[in-house]
Amino acid sequence: MTTWAVSVHREAGLGLETGNQREIFERGWQHVAIRPNAWRGNGPVSTDAGRFFVKGLRIPLIRKKQRWVQRWDIEREAAALEQLRGLGLDVPEVVAWGTERVAGISLRSFLITAFLDQTTNLEQWIAAHDTWPETLGAEEREILTSAGRTLHELHRVGFAHGDMASRNILVHPAGRAARTSLIDVPRLVALDTDNANMDGFRLVKTAMKAGLPRAAAALLAAPFSGGDGAAFVADVERIRAIPGRLRRKLAYHRWRRRDRAAGEAGSSDTTAG
């Protein structure tokens, strides 16, 4: 049996205001752009009411793994965005979402959010710098601090991102004050020491892989590391430098649990060495 669930939050000129659940879903699905043989796609859509960002998933009924499907749960992401927005975090506004299910299994789903004009993700912003000055300018310092504060604010309200990376923070155009937004939150989970450290580690790691130098990475890490961004970055660099994938993973997993087991951070270095 096929069922449809649709939630429309505001009029957007996308034809989602009237009809039964199936009709509204199909009209929403028309705005999804997915390449042949691909299972997900996203992109901007323009109407008389403005610009919007549409994300769509098309999942085969028969698939080998269920876990990776859960990583892209549209309904869960919509609920997470609404919750974070209600808590005052800078995330995109949900316009509408819809899911088609067969025997309770999601096959097609879409999420429409407000489009954040002229933004670039933090990874691209970092990569756009051919060189980094020895002393950062005011704009660079403000943006990096704002990006770190974005993760800190998420942790402050009791959540971890679960898929934190520099591509999941958007940098807004330069203005009176630096502004960054959080995106892609389908894996949002309740905060604990383990996933808080994991969020920070992944954000710093991906930023440095994009070309962010050590001193700038320390500025990024300062807001969510208790102010000691340099020590946090040093931990990330030390773990990434450990030879051998299994030894590196062991050191990383011990390090990220350090606040729950006294002295474990030190023992991870010994084990990894």
**pLDDT, the chain, mean:** 88
Span 213-239, average pLDDT: 96
Tell me the C-alpha distance between 94 and 115, whole Å. Answer: 10
- At a CB cut-off of 8 Å and minimum separation 6, what does 159 contact? 84, 188, 189, 190, 191
Q: Are residues 100 and 137 in the same domain?
A: no
- Is pLDDT of 263 > 70? no
Q: How confident is the model at residue 270 (pLDDT cuts 50, 70, 90)?
A: very low
> Does 55 map to a domain?
yes
Is the model more confident about 84 or about 105?
84
* pLDDT of residue 269 exceeding 70: no
Same domain as 230, residue 126: yes
- CATH number of residue 13's parent domain: 3.30.200.20
The parent domain of residue 215 ranges over 120-241
So what's the pLDDT on residue 130?
87
**% of the chain at pLDDT higher than 70:** 89
99's enclosing H/E stretch is: strand 94-102
Give per-residue pLDDT as tens, 147-193: 999 999 999 999 999 999 999 999 998 766 789 999 999 999 999 98
Q: How many structural domains comprise the chain?
A: 2
Last residue of a domain, one of 88, 114, 140: 114
pTM attached to this predicted model: 0.88
